[in-house]
Structure 1
Amino acid sequence: MEGNQLFPVFIKLDTLHTLVVGGGPVGLEKLSALLNNSPSAKISLVALEILPQLKELAAKFPNVSLSQRAFELEDLDAAELVIAATNNADLNDQIRAAAKERKILANFADKPELCDFYLGSIVKKGDLKIAISTNGKSPTIAKRLKETLNDGLPDELNITLQQMQELRNKLEGDFTDKVKKLNKVTSLLVEDQKSRAMRLNFKWLVWITIVLSISVVIAVFWHKEPEFQAFLLNLNPVFYWFLLGGFVFAMIDGAIGMSYGVTSTSFSLAMGIPPASASMAVHLSEILSNGIAGWMHYRMGNVNWKLFRLLIIPGILGAVAGAYLLSSLEHYSQYTKPLVSIYTLILGGVILSKAYKAGKPTAKGKIKKISLLGLFGGFIDAVGGGGWGSIVLSSLIAGGRNPRFSLGTVKITRFFIASMSSLTFLTMLNGAHWEAVAGLVIGSALAAPIAARVSNKISVKTIMVAVGIIVILVSLRSIFGFILKLF
Structure 2
Amino acid sequence: MTSLPRNNHITDVPPQKSEGNQLFPVFLKLNNLHTVLVGGGNVGLEKLTAMLNNSHDAAVTVIAKTFLPQVEALAAGTPKLTLVQKAFVDTDLDNADLVIAATDDVELNAYIRQSAHDRKLLINVADKPDLCDFYLGSIVQKGDLKIGISTNGKSPTVAKRLKEVFSEALPDELDTTLQQMSQIRNKLSGDFAYKVEELNRVTAILVGGKKPPSFNAIKLVVWSAFVAFLAITITSLWFREPAFQSFVTNVNPQFYYFLGAGFVFALIDGAIGMSYGVTSTTFSLSMGIPPASASMGVHLSEILSNGIAGWMHYRMGNVNWKLFKLLLIPGIVGAATGAYLVSSLEHYSVYTKPLVSLYTLILGFVILSKAININRKRTTAKIKRIPLLGLGGGFIDAVGGGGWGSIVLSTLIAGGRHPRFSLGTVKLSRFFIALVSSATFILMLNGKHWEAVAGLVIGSALASPVAARISNKISAKAIMFAVAVIVILISLRSVGLFIFKLI
Report the TM-score, using the length of structure 1 for normalisation. 0.52
Q: Does 2:403 correspond to 1:387?
A: yes
CA drift of 1:425 comes to: 0.5
CA drift of 1:371 comes to: 0.7
Q: Deviations over 1:14-53 (max 9, x none)?
A: 97xxxxxxxxxxxxxxxxxxxxxxxxxxxxxxxxxxxxxx
Structure-1 separation of matches of 2:170 and 2:276: 27
CA 232–410 in structure 1, closer or farther in 2 if over 3 Å, else same: farther
CA 343–263 in structure 1, closer or farther in 2 if over 3 Å, else same: closer
CA drift of 1:436 comes to: 1.2
Report the TM-score, using the length of structure 2 for normalisation. 0.51
Name the residue aligned to 1:412.
428
1:448 to 446, 464, 467: 464
CA 333–271 in structure 1, closer or farther in 2 if over 3 Å, else same: closer
CA drift of 1:236 comes to: 2.7
Name the residue aligned to 2:156.
none
Q: State the SS of the aligned residue for 2:338.
A: helix
Name the residue aligned to 2:77.
none
Contact kept in structure 2, 1:344 and 1:394, CA below 8 Å: no
Structure-1 separation of matches of 2:456 and 2:466: 16
Structure-1 separation of matches of 2:411 and 2:182: 35
Q: State the SS of the aligned residue for 2:375.
A: helix
Contact kept in structure 2, 1:280 and 1:425, CA below 8 Å: yes
Name the residue aligned to 1:83.
none
Name the residue aligned to 1:266.
282
Name the residue aligned to 1:214.
none
CA 341–274 in structure 1, closer or farther in 2 if over 3 Å, else same: closer
CA drift of 1:356 comes to: 2.8
Structure-1 separation of matches of 2:284 and 2:403: 16
One-letter code of the match for 1:237?
A: P
Name the residue aligned to 1:81.
none
Contact kept in structure 2, 1:404 and 1:456, CA below 8 Å: no
One-letter code of the match for 1:349?
A: S
CA 300–425 in structure 1, closer or farther in 2 if over 3 Å, else same: same
- Number of residues of Structure 1 aligned to a counterpart in Structure 2: 306
CA drift of 1:254 comes to: 1.7
Name the residue aligned to 2:258.
242
Q: State the SS of the aligned residue for 1:375.
A: helix
Structure-1 separation of matches of 2:391 and 2:435: 15
CA drift of 1:369 comes to: 0.9
Structure-1 separation of matches of 2:479 and 2:146: 30
Name the residue aligned to 1:151.
173
CA drift of 1:451 comes to: 1.0
Name the residue aligned to 2:455.
439
Q: Does 2:327 correspond to 1:311?
A: yes
Contact kept in structure 2, 1:319 and 1:379, CA below 8 Å: yes
Q: Does 2:445 correspond to 1:429?
A: yes
Name the residue aligned to 1:255.
271
Contact kept in structure 2, 1:333 and 1:383, CA below 8 Å: no
Contact kept in structure 1, 2:278 and 2:363, CA below 8 Å: no
Structure-1 separation of matches of 2:479 and 2:386: 19
Contact kept in structure 1, 2:310 and 2:424, CA below 8 Å: yes
CA 133–452 in structure 1, closer or farther in 2 if over 3 Å, else same: farther
CA 466–153 in structure 1, closer or farther in 2 if over 3 Å, else same: farther
CA drift of 1:233 comes to: 11
Structure-2 separation of matches of 1:192 and 1:296: 20
Taking only aligned residues, the RMSD between alpha carbons, in angstroms, comes to: 4.6
Q: Deviations over 1:172-212 (max 9, x none)?
A: xxxxxxxxxxxxxxxxx99998xx99xxxxxxxxxxxxxxx
Contact kept in structure 2, 1:231 and 1:435, CA below 8 Å: no
Q: What is the correspondence of 1:293-312 to structure 2 with a 5 Å cutoff?
A: 293-312=309-328
Contact kept in structure 1, 2:273 and 2:423, CA below 8 Å: yes
Contact kept in structure 2, 1:305 and 1:409, CA below 8 Å: yes
One-letter code of the match for 1:436?
A: A
Contact kept in structure 1, 2:282 and 2:357, CA below 8 Å: no
- My pick for the range that moved more, 368-377 or 324-333, is 324-333
Name the residue aligned to 1:85.
none
Larger radius of gyration: 2
Q: State the SS of the aligned residue for 2:274.
A: coil
Name the residue aligned to 1:225.
none
Q: What is the correspondence of 1:200-349 to structure 2 with a 5 Å cutoff?
A: 235-330=251-346, 331=349, 332=352, 334-335=354-355, 338=358, 341-342=361-362, 345=365, 349=369
Could you list the runs of 5+ residues in structure 1 that have no partner in the other structure?
A: 16-102, 106-116, 136-142, 155-188, 198-229
Could you list the runs of 5+ residues in structure 2 that have no partner in the other structure?
A: 1-14, 28-41, 44-127, 152-164, 188-245
CA drift of 1:235 comes to: 3.0
Structure-2 separation of matches of 1:237 and 1:132: 62
CA 232–132 in structure 1, closer or farther in 2 if over 3 Å, else same: farther
CA 346–486 in structure 1, closer or farther in 2 if over 3 Å, else same: same
CA drift of 1:433 comes to: 1.7
Structure-2 separation of matches of 1:124 and 1:426: 45
Structure-1 separation of matches of 2:375 and 2:278: 24
One-letter code of the match for 1:150?
A: D
Q: Deviations over 1:441-471 (max 9, x none)?
A: 111011111110122667xxx65x4686467
Q: Give aligned-pair identity as a percent.
A: 59
Name the residue aligned to 1:20.
none
CA drift of 1:475 comes to: 6.6
One-letter code of the match for 2:451?
A: E
One-letter code of the match for 2:310?
A: G
Structure-2 separation of matches of 1:190 and 1:293: 19
Structure-2 separation of matches of 1:134 and 1:478: 56
CA drift of 1:246 comes to: 0.7
Q: State the SS of the aligned residue for 2:383.
A: coil
CA 144–425 in structure 1, closer or farther in 2 if over 3 Å, else same: farther
Name the residue aligned to 1:353.
373
Q: State the SS of the aligned residue for 1:356.
A: coil
Q: What is the correspondence of 1:47-196 to structure 2 with a 5 Å cutoff?
A: 122-123=140-141, 130-131=146-147, 149-153=171-175
CA 353–248 in structure 1, closer or farther in 2 if over 3 Å, else same: closer
CA drift of 1:144 comes to: 9.8
Structure-1 separation of matches of 2:371 and 2:252: 42
Q: Deviations over 1:333-372 (max 9, x none)?
A: 64366467547745753674362336xxx4x311111111
Contact kept in structure 2, 1:287 and 1:418, CA below 8 Å: yes
Contact kept in structure 2, 1:348 and 1:467, CA below 8 Å: no
